Homo-oligomer: A and B are copies of this chain.
Amino acid sequence: MKAIVVERGENTPSLIETPVPEPADGEALVRTLRVGIDGTDFEVLNGNHGGFPAGDDHQIIGHEAVGVVEDPNGTGLENGQLVVPTVRRPPEGSNEYFERGEPDMAPPGTYLERGIDGAHGFMSEYFTSPEEYLVTIPDEFAETGILVEPMSNTVKALEHAFASRSMFDWSPETALVLGNGPLGLLTLAMLDQTVERSYCLGRRDRPDPTIDIIDELGATYVDSRETPVSEIADVHEPVDFVYEATGYAKHAFETVEALAPNGVGVLLGIPEDWTFDIDGGRLHREIVLENKVILGSVNSHLRHFESAKESLARVPDWFTDDIITDVFSPINAEQALSSGNNRIKTVIEFDTR
């Protein structure tokens, strides 16, 4: 079968031929339909992954997949059923987090991540997976199902954020999404029914397809070159909820200033080390006197994938059409995995028969 991989020492993708994997007991064989590309894939290509699968000098990339069950192999799945795989897998010997069904809460070093960290991903004609890590989805999500994985991360982030505010009467009216990449835009769409007014921060000029989507969603585009995060409260309004999807470390701290009293900021970006000045006294004081929360969130587990299916069913068709801008066949993987103008979500589409 064809597989898109990163070879040891390389930082561009290669299309290779490799045997179709054999499902082990409890695993199903899945024929891949589509795999989405996100920023993590570029980091994997550039060597920022947790390591190659044991014994291999290449890693199949890709972690946002949708496929169809080709061989249930004795599992409870049915031939032809559409599935989305989760990403984290237990290391040798497993651990408490996987045993509890909470791989997303496993700390670094206690998990493998398919396509990212020590395990092959899904960007190949077939993949295998234990049944427990496959989420069944309706047939109408054959094209959009690649959005379930990123949306599941937002589901978890929102769940934890709301839990942090559950001991008092909290009804957020306003939200600010930092970042107008695919994850930011998906989150903006998911928040559409939760808050009355939303803002999305980017640093692009009009005309731009992401700003068009922000407009269409009824949100307000904030150009960070004109209005930094620390000034949004003054220029627009303090917001009850901030969702950070930029990986820009200063945003984590400026979020405190953007928040309204009793607000929560959830961080999802993963920046490099970066030392800078902050007015730590003022931030500390504001966090306390205004009962604010800063909360980190990474990955997601099965419940979040199940809930993401419902979120996907709720976003309008025009939105998913506009988000998935570029569809490539596997032979054009190198082109798909280079940066392209005006791309939002790029997808590799395998033979869909």
Q: Which residues of A come within 8 Å of B, CB atoms?
A: 100, 102, 104-105, 107-108, 159-160, 163-169, 249-250, 252-253, 261-262, 267-298
Q: Is the CB of B298 within 8 A of A289?
A: yes
Jot down 12 A-B pairs with beta carbons below 8 A, ordered by A.
A100-B169, A105-B261, A249-B280, A249-B283, A267-B284, A267-B288, A269-B284, A287-B295, A289-B296, A289-B298, A290-B298, A293-B296
Known: A159-B167, A167-B159. A288 touches B298 (CB 8 A): yes
Interchain nearest-CB distance for A127 vs B (Å): 25
Which residue in B160, B252, B293 is a CB contact (below 8 Å) of A167?
B160
Report Cα–Cα, A194/B219, bound state, in Å. Answer: 44
Known: A166-B163, A279-B273, A288-B269. A294 touches B297 (CB 8 A): no
Point out the residues of chain B lying under 8 angstroms from A275, CB to CB.
Answer: 277-281
Interchain nearest-CB distance for A173 vs B (Å): 13
Q: Is the CB of A280 within 8 A of B285?
A: no
Known: A275-B278, A277-B277, A281-B271. A261 touches B107 (CB 8 A): yes
Nearest residue (CB) in B for A280 is B249
Which residue in B252, B281, B282, B285 is a CB contact (below 8 Å) of A287?
B252
Interchain nearest-CB distance for A337 vs B (Å): 24
Which residue in B159, B250, B269, B287 is a CB contact (below 8 Å) of A294?
B287
Nearest residue (CB) in B for A301 is B168
Point out the residues of chain B lying under 8 angstroms from A291, CB to CB.
Answer: 104-105, 160, 296-298
Report Cα–Cα, A262/B102, bound state, in Å. Answer: 12
Report Cα–Cα, A296/B294, bound state, in Å. Answer: 9
Q: Is the CB of A281 within 8 A of B277?
A: no
Which residue in B253, B268, B289, B293 is a CB contact (below 8 Å) of A288?
B268
Extra contacts, 14 of them, besides A267-B288, A273-B282 (Cβ < 8 A), are A100-B169, A102-B169, A160-B291, A164-B164, A249-B280, A249-B285, A252-B283, A267-B284, A267-B287, A270-B285, A272-B281, A275-B280, A289-B298, A291-B296
Nearest residue (CB) in B for A279 is B275
Point out the residues of chain B lying under 8 angstroms from A278, CB to CB.
Answer: 275-276, 278, 280
Which residue in B268, B272, B281 is a CB contact (below 8 Å) of A274?
B281
Point out the residues of chain B lying under 8 angstroms from A270, CB to CB.
Answer: 285, 288-289
Q: Is the CB of B290 within 8 A of A293?
A: no
Point out the residues of chain B lying under 8 angstroms from A163, CB to CB.
Answer: 163-167
Report Cα–Cα, A29/B270, bound state, in Å. Answer: 57
Q: Is the CB of A249 within 8 A of B284?
A: yes
- Looking at A107, A169, A296, which has the most chain B CB atoms within 10 Å of its CB? A296
Report Cα–Cα, A278/B163, bound state, in Å. Answer: 29
- Looking at A165, A291, A297, which has the most chain B CB atoms within 10 Å of its CB? A291
Report Cα–Cα, A105/B293, bound state, in Å. Answer: 13
